[in-house]
Amino acid sequence: MTSFRPLIKAAPLLLALLLAVPALADTGSNATTIDLSAEATRPAANDLVRATVFAEASGATPGELAKRVNGMIAEAQTTAKSYPAVKSQSGATHTYPVYGKGSRIESWRMRSDLTIESSDTAAISELLSQLQASMGIASLVMLPAPKTRKAAERDAIVDAIAAFIARAQVIAEAMGNKSYRIRHLAIDSGGGRPPVRPMMRAAAMASADAAPMPIEAGDTQISATISGEIELLE
C-alpha cells in the first residue's frame, strides 16, 4: 500500500474528479453496494544503472585470501572514486572451505561484492569495462531513479482514480441511472520492478582495454490499482 503524500501535487485534479461524484445522501440498510477496481500504468524511464561486481580467489589459508580479495576490492573502490557521478558501496563477503577426499579441507575460497550505481550511463559503462580486467560482474539492472519512479507513480494513481470514477458511473447508469457514493477506496501502487540481469562474467573473459559495456535503458511500467466500494442511491 502507498501513502497519500505523493498525491499532494495532484490535489487540484483529484478534487475536480471527486466533485464529479454525486453528493452523499442517507441510505437505508437495504442499499445496494458494489465492489470494483480500476488500474492504470505510466512509463518511467530507467535512468539509474546498478551493478554488482565481485572479486573472487582461492588460497591455502583464509588470511592469504583476505589480503588478496580485500586488495582487489580496495583497488576497485579507488577506480570508482575517479568517477564522481558513480556511487559505490561494499557488499557481502563470503569465505568457505573447499573439501577434498575424506572431507578434509584442501583450500579456501573467498568472494567479496561491490555495488556501483549511477544515472550517468556513459560513466558507469566505462567504469565497468575497467573493472572487468580483474573482477567479475554478478548482475546489472536498469531501473527508474526514486524521483522518476515517484513522479510516474503519482500520475498512475491519478489516472487510476479517474478510471475508477468513470467505471462507477457506468455501473450506476447500467443499474437504472442511479446516483452513487463512494464508501471507501484503497490505493495500491507498485509493480514495475525491472528484473536483475545475472551476468556472472568472469574476469578472465575481459581485457584491460575492453570497450565500454553497452547499456540499453528503456522504460519500466509503473502501475496503480484503485479498489473500493460504491453504494447506489435512490
Of 77, 109, 143, which one is at a domain's C-terminal end?
143
User: What pLDDT shows up at residue 217?
Assistant: 74
- Tell whether the model's pLDDT for residue 17 goes beyond 90: no
Q: How far apart are CA 78 and CA 73, in angstroms?
A: 9
Domain with 97 in it: 48-143
Beta bridge pairs of residue 115: 52, 89
Q: Indicate whether 94 and 162 sit together in one domain.
A: no
27 or 92, higher pLDDT: 92
Q: Does a structural domain hold residue 205?
A: no
The verdict on 126 and 154 lying in the same domain is no
Q: Tell me, what's the pLDDT at 1? A: 45
Same domain for 76 and 152, yes or no, is no
**Domain annotation covers residue 170:** yes
Q: What are phi and psi of 68, to 5 degrees?
A: -70, -50
pLDDT of residue 102: 80
Total number of domains constituting the chain? 2
The answer to whether residue 70 sits within a structural domain is yes
pLDDT exceeds cutoff 90 at 215 = no
pLDDT tens by residue, 36-78: 999 999 999 999 999 999 999 999 999 989 999 999 999 999 9
Q: Provide the mean pLDDT of the chain.
A: 83
59 lies in the same domain as 135: yes
The mean pLDDT of 108-120, rounded to a whole number, is: 96
Does one domain contain both 111 and 60?
yes
**Rounded CA gap, 128 and 51, in Å?**
9
Q: Are residues 58 and 102 in the same domain?
A: yes
115 closest CA partner among 145, 135, 96, 99: 135
Answer yes or no: do 157 and 139 share one domain: no
Whole-number pLDDT of residue 24: 42
pLDDT, tens digit, 9 for 90 and up, residues 182-211? 999 999 986 656 555 555 444 444 444 556
Report field, pTM of the whole predicted structure over 0.75: no
Residues 122-152 pLDDT 10s: 999 999 999 999 999 999 999 999 999 999 9
Asked if pLDDT for residue 19 goes beyond 60, the answer is no
Which H helix or E strand runs over 64? helix 62-81
